[in-house]
């Protein structure tokens, strides 16, 4: 890591930022990350489950803590072990899932031992995240509206670039990608102002707001672009690779 740089760590979203519809890391993006990880710590920060985070982190050779489940679970990519987690309250998780089942909405729930998609197969309720999946825009808004005032939930609508539909992610109240920023800041002894964040969807907003430098993809909603220090080309144009070459590398030496 470059000790002379003012920026010390890079948080990067997965879907729509690091990977596109094909769910692959393109060669230009992989090459850009390779240049960065020699100078900065690099953490994927995604709403996806641990297995996906570990797969892509290992593909890129990342060794710093990695973030899954919208900040509710932080992992060591070399061992796969949990470093920290904050699950939903069991009764709240049960309420979310029973409501989604009643709406005939597909879901995925994550716990430290794996994932489950059938409510009848849930054997444990220490769920770090529940996601309502593959929703049309209006249906996603309806689901958000049902839970938006629940005092024990953080609810966020997330675009799914691999199919053009939406998800709604549920984590414990106060737990989001910014939670991971705070955790790493405390455990690495670094100021969050020295962190760089990159993302493209609403669940990236807390992350970006917590970082000292903010990169937003061209495919992102306007609300994210309004707080960006740099708007990159879209993920389909290898925008992250462009951002690394044109914006990040010149600032870290």
Residue 113 pLDDT = 81
**What are 233's two structure tokens?**
């080309």
**What are 164's two structure tokens?**
């053009």
Cβ–Cβ under 8 Å, residues 243 and 215: yes
User: How many Å apart are CA 60 and CA 180, to the nearest integer?
Assistant: 20
Tell whether 132 is covered by a domain.
yes
User: How many Å apart are CA 50 and CA 123, to the nearest integer?
Assistant: 19
Beta strands in 112-233 (DSSP E): 114-116, 129-135, 153-160, 165-172, 195-199, 213-217, 230-232
Residue 3 pLDDT = 43
b/e code 78-103 from CB counts within 10 Å (16+ = b): eeeeeebbbbbeeebbebbbeebeee
In the chain, the number of structural domains is: 2
User: How many Å apart are CA 145 and CA 246, to the nearest integer?
Assistant: 40
> pLDDT of 209-234, one tens digit each?
999 999 999 999 999 999 999 999 99
CA neighbours closer than 13 Å in the CB half-sphere of residue 103: 18
Tell whether 244 is covered by a domain.
yes
* CA distance from start to end of the chain: 11
Tell whether 1 is covered by a domain.
no
Nearest to 238, CA basis, from 54, 32, 11:
32
Kindly report the CATH number assigned to the domain that includes residue 135: 3.30.1240.10
**What are 112's two structure tokens?**
């430290």
Does one domain contain both 181 and 200?
A: yes
Kindly report the CATH number assigned to the domain that includes residue 216: 3.40.50.1000
Residue 112 pLDDT = 78
Residues facing residue 170 across a β-bridge: 130, 155
Name residue, tokens 């990977």.
19
Residue 249, phi then psi, degrees to nearest 5: -55, -40
Residues in the chain with pLDDT < 70? 1-5
Does one domain contain both 94 and 167?
A: yes
Nearest to 176, CA basis, from 132, 206, 220:
206
Query: Is this model's pTM higher than 0.85 or not?
Result: yes
**Pairing label, strands 66-68, 41-44:** unpaired
> pLDDT of 106-153, one tens digit each?
999 998 788 999 999 999 999 999 999 999 999 999 999 999 999 999
Does one domain contain both 215 and 241?
A: yes
Tell whether 122 is covered by a domain.
yes
Domain that holds residue 139: 90-172
**What are 234's two structure tokens?**
């879209």
Tell whether 78 is covered by a domain.
yes
Cβ–Cβ under 8 Å, residues 62 and 77: yes
Does one domain contain both 189 and 76?
A: yes
Does one domain contain both 158 and 197?
A: no
Residues facing residue 157 across a β-bridge: 168
Does one domain contain both 196 and 147?
A: no
Please give the full DSSP string across 101-125, using - where no structure is assigned.
HHTT--EEEEETTEEE--GGG----
């Amino acid at each position: 890591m470059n000790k002379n740089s003012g920026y010390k760590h890079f948080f990067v979203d997965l879907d729509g930022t690091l990977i596109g519809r094909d769910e692959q890391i393109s060669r230009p993006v992989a090459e850009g990350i390779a240049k960065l990880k020699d100078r900065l710590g690099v953490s994927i920060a995604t709403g996806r489950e641990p297995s996906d985070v570990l797969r892509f982190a290992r593909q890129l050779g990342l060794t710093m803590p990695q973030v899954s489940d919208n900040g509710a679970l932080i992992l060591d990519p070399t061992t796969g072990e949990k470093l920290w987690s904050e699950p939903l309250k069991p009764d709240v998780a049960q309420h979310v899932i029973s409501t989604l089942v009643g709406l005939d909405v597909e879901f995925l729930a994550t716990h430290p031992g794996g994932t489950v998609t059938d409510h009848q197969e849930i054997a444990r309720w220490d769920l770090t995240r529940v996601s309502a999946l593959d929703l049309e825009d209006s249906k996603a808004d309806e689901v958000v509206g049902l839970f938006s005032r629940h005092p024990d939930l953080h609810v966020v609508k997330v675009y799914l670039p691999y199919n053009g539909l939406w998800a709604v992610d549920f984590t414990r109240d106060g737990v989001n990608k910014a939670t991971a920023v705070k955790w790493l800041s405390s455990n690495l002894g670094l100021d969050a102002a020295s962190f760089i964040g990159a993302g493209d969807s609403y669940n990236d907003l807390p992350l970006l707001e917590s970082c000292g430098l903010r990169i937003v993809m061209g495919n992102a909603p306007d609300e994210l672009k309004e707080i960006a220090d740099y708007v990159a080309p879209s993920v389909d144009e290898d925008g992250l690779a462009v951002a690394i070459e044109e914006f990040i590398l010149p600032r870290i030496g």
